[in-house]
Structure 1
């Protein structure tokens, strides 16, 4: 088929399917993308009806198809790029970096940021202060890749303090695109105070 030949609906569908079914679009594909690909195929079928019999004035069908397939490929590639960034373990969730810091420094930074109205950053620094405090007191072993959820789970087995609400606030702000609020920061401050006042649970008798 030359670029000057008219494109039928069946040919357009087959070309679009071949393009969209390339491996690059399916690598680590989340399940919801299946539906999106189906919708793109249906969209192409709807906007590319069967042309009239071949004749003068119908040579732009091939070019139109190429443009539409390229646009569809760009959309899918952009969504996959965004999803990979969200799923990349190195780009998300780690609470502390692999650099030496002190709980007191995280608390000071949190207070300064809260005073400036930067509550998302203040929430992060206050939870980091809690994590460092637990490590400095040898309640938890240092682990740079620890997430907020893991911190809450591990701390709950060692202290009579539930950090899960604070971990949820942290994740909602930093990974759920929700704004930091004074109330969220106040919760982290209260949890930090509770952790500092708490004593480790006694070991169970063997």
Structure 2
């Protein structure tokens, strides 16, 4: 004779959910076992995959087809370009700071001949950076002594070269190069050598022998 108690749920239309829910809960708990996730990608791998996916979308938006190593190479290229831009933007203030440094120090004023003698002594010792520094100072001090330039403390090498170029226009380009050499050498961007010193020495002699342009003379 059938057990009507076992068939009661079916007869009343109530679904049997206890065993099904228990099985589902057991499966969920089993999936939490670390053994089932041993081969899952790491957090860093998921982040890297996401970055590559975004790059693929970005490059795809501008019509660049990418895949695998191509995406990585493009990503590295973008990083290099960004680094170069940052270097340029952050390096510019340092270059500007060098160009605004005073040509002469705060010590007692020295004559052009004293600077020439110091430059020659440095050159004899192979100290080319110091020789370049004193030789340009001798050149500018000589123009001040001839009253072709006003004596102005705090004047930079670039300013002195620009003012001297207006007084002696035939030497304007050479004076500009001399100021650039001074800045590059004295502030550490380039290494000085005998040729740099000799070029300044020759310019000093040429400037000393030149007559000023009345139109460009300072007042």
Q: Specify if TM > 0.5.
A: yes
Q: Distance in 2 between matches of 1:150 and 1:102?
A: 19
* Cα pair distance change 1:173/1:198, threshold 3 Å: same
Q: Which runs of 5+ in 1 are unaligned?
A: 1-34, 37-81
Tell me the matched-pair count: 141
Take 1:147 and 1:123, find their aligned partners in 2: how far apart are those partners?
15
Cα RMSD of the aligned pairs, angstroms, is 3.6
1:203 aligns with 215
Pair 1:118–1:90, CA change in 2 (3 A): closer
How much has 1:176 moved relative to structure 2?
Answer: 4.6
Structure 1 outlier segments of 4+, above 3 Å: 85-92
- Return the alpha-carbon distance in structure 1 between the equivalents of residues 152 and 193 of structure 2: 28
| Contact kept in structure 1, 2:99 and 2:183, CA below 8 Å | no
> Match for residue 184 of structure 2?
172
Structure 2 match to 1:97: 105
- The alpha carbon displacement at 1:90 in A equals 9.2
Length-normalised TM-score, structure 1: 0.55
What is residue 171 of structure 2 aligned with on the other side? 161
- Where structure 2 has 5 or more consecutive residues not aligned to the other structure, the ranges are 1-81, 84-89
Alignment of 1:126-205 (within 5 A): 126-159=135-168, 160-162=170-172, 163-203=175-215
Q: Contact between 1:95 and 1:145, CA under 8 Å: does it hold in 2? A: yes
Report the 3-state secondary structure (helix = DSSP H, G, I; strand = E; otherwise coil) of the residue aligned with 1:153: helix
1:4-42 Cα deviation digits (max 9, x unpaired): xxxxxxxxxxxxxxxxxxxxxxxxxxxxxxx67xxxxxx
CA offset at residue 92 of structure 1?
5.8
The structure whose Rg is larger is: 2
Quickly say closer, same or farther: Cα 1:92–1:155, change in 2 above 3 A: closer
Tell me whether 109-118 or 90-99 shows the greater mean CA deviation: 90-99
Partner of 1:107: 116
Q: Distance in 1 between matches of 2:165 and 2:100?
A: 23
Q: Provide Cα deviations, 1:98-124, integer angstroms capped at 9, x if missing partner.
A: 441100000000000000000000000
State TM-score, norm by structure 2. 0.52
SS at match of 1:198: coil
